[in-house]
Amino acid sequence: MELVCPAGSYPALKAAVDQGADAVYIGFRNDTNARHFAGLNFNDAKAEKAMAYAKSHGTKLFVAINTNPQPQGWSRWQAAIDHAAALSADALIAADFSVLAYAAEKYPDLPLHLSVQGSATNYEALRFYHRHFGIRRAVLPRVLDLKQVAQVAAHAPVDLEVFAFGSLCIMAEGRCYLSSYLTSESPNTCGACSPAAYVRWQETEEGLESRLNNVLIDRYQDGEKAGYPTLCKGRYLVNGQKYHALEEPTSLNTIAMLPELDRIGIKAVKIEGRQRSPAYVEQVVGVWRKAIDQYLANKSDYQVPERWLSVLGKVSEGAQTTLGPYSRPWQ
């Protein structure tokens, strides 16, 4: 079971490697990856430094080039792929047909992983990506329950990686344009969701308001904890009732399901959070490393101590965790 960890900066990468990540995934400093946030990600020099550090510790480095280029921007995506190949990245995480095709043709030795942004929820789709681009691994979107994941794993022509911990995208990744509907920028086109440039906070008589491109996302009364106005996490009116119509702020945590994921043949677990701090990476990777090691040392006696949950709980968004779609009632 491979532990795949996020890094949005060199200190985060160092933390992940030091805490025992088997692989770390990064993105370059532009819209070629799905975490295109200001101040985040790796320029050329930092990427080389990251690669050197990972290599010297026996950790793999994956590069995410997982947004969808439009013709006018293709040169940036091509340069990113060329750069990842020049770095000798251990894998390229990609979603777009054209990115996969270019990489497969030009760099046949560079392993390709289908990004969660590729939105492949079933093994027939995986067969297409395997046949056309020779992908070796796929990251499953967070829309399947455990039984369905097992079914995909049983028939998939490639290894599977699943999300294990982190912020929960309520929508099927790669199939959500809500952000561009409100702001013109989406994960697919720009690697952005509810981008900060469109956020406005305002104290009013009715409470503290958060807006995204002027649309009221939420309004907080005194004492209520205000969260970033990610559009799917706002409180809206439906049939006159005000509530989190799509999702409440919460995180995914599957640490208790580790044995089950292993039994059904999952080859890698992924920690979400390239946008999070080095401290987050350090704490989450530390706990997951211990969990996997303990599980592998004695598969029949795997237990999750309270202190792990408390560490993970503290860094979770909304300070609560769920099993998300892996558990049916959530759906």
Partner 1 sequence: MQTEDLQLTLGPNLYFWSRQETFDFYRKIAETPVDSVYLGETVCSKRRELRLEDWIEIGRLLESQGKRIILSTLTMLSAESDLKLIRRICAESPWQIEANDVAAVHLLESLDKPFVAGPALNIYNGRSLALMQRSGCQRWVMPVELSRASLQNILEECRQYADAVPETEIFSYGLLPLAYSARCFTARHHKLPKDDCRSKCQLYPKGLPVLSQEQTPVFTLNGIQTQSGVPYDLSEHLGDLAEIGVRHVRLSPEPQGMPEIIIRFDAARRGETVQAHAESCNGYWLGKAGMEHIPATEIS
Burial of residue 82 (number of CB atoms within 10 Å: 0-12, 13-18, 19+)? middle
Enclosing H/E stretch for 182? helix 178-183
Tell me: does residue 170 bind partner 1 (CB under 8 A): yes
Task: Give dist(CA 166, CA 136) in Å, integer.
Answer: 24
- Among 68, 115, 254, 322, which residue sits at the site for partner 1 (rule: CB under 8 A)? 68
Residues numbered 229 to 258 that lie near partner 1 (CB under 8 A) are: 234-239, 241-242, 245-247
Compose the 71-100 pattern: x for residues touching partner 1 by CB under 8 A, - for all others: xx-x--------------------xxxx--
Rule CB under 8 A: choose which of 106, 131, 263, 307 binds partner 1: 131
Residue 325 contacts partner 1 per CB under 8 A: yes
- Phi and psi at residue 107, in whole multiples of 5°? -130, 70
- Which pair of structure tokens corresponds to residue 28? 């370059």
Cα 227 from Cα 328, distance rounded (Å)? 27
Query: CA 230 to CA 152: how far, in whole Å?
Result: 31
The DSSP element (H or E) to which 212 belongs, if any, is strand 207-212
| CA 299 – CA 301 distance, rounded (Å) | 6
Q: Give the separation between CA 49 and CA 241, rounded to whole angstroms.
A: 52
Q: For partner 1, which residue of 9, 41, 213, 321 counts as binding (CB under 8 A)?
A: 213
- Binds partner 1 by CB under 8 A, chosen from 79, 110, 199, 215: 215
Smallest distance, Å, CB 199 to partner 1? Answer: 14
The only residue of 156, 217, 261, 266 in contact with partner 1, by rule CB under 8 A = 217
Q: Toward partner 1, which CB reaches closer, 15 or 112?
A: 112
Per-residue CA distances from 112 to 94, 104, 155 (Å): 7, 8, 19
Q: CA-CA distance, 39 to 294, in Å (whole number)?
A: 36
Spatial strand order of the sheet with 207-212 comes to 199-204, 207-212, 215-220
Give the range of 125-133, 252-260, 279-287, 297-305 binding partner 1 by CB under 8 A: 125-133
Binds partner 1 (CB under 8 A): choice among 183, 194, 250, 322 = 183
Binding partner 1 (rule: CB under 8 A), the pick from 52, 57, 70, 259 is 70
Among 85, 159, 189, 262, binds partner 1 (CB under 8 A): 189
Report the SS3 class of residue 270. strand
Pattern of binders to partner 1 over 4-43, x per CB under 8 A? ----------------------------------------
**How many residues at the interface with partner 1, by CB under 8 A?**
68
Closest contact distance (angstroms) between CB of 161 and partner 1 is 18
Contact call for residue 294 and partner 1 (CB under 8 A) = no
User: Could you give the angle at the alpha carbon of 270 between the alpha carbons of 251 and 112, nearest 5°?
Assistant: 140
Beta carbons of 26 and 53 less than 8 angstroms apart: no
* Interacting residues toward partner 1 by CB under 8 A: 68-72, 74, 95-98, 101-102, 119-125, 127-129, 131-132, 142-145, 148, 151, 170-172, 174-178, 180-184, 186, 188-189, 213, 215-219, 234-239, 241-242, 245-247, 325, 328-331
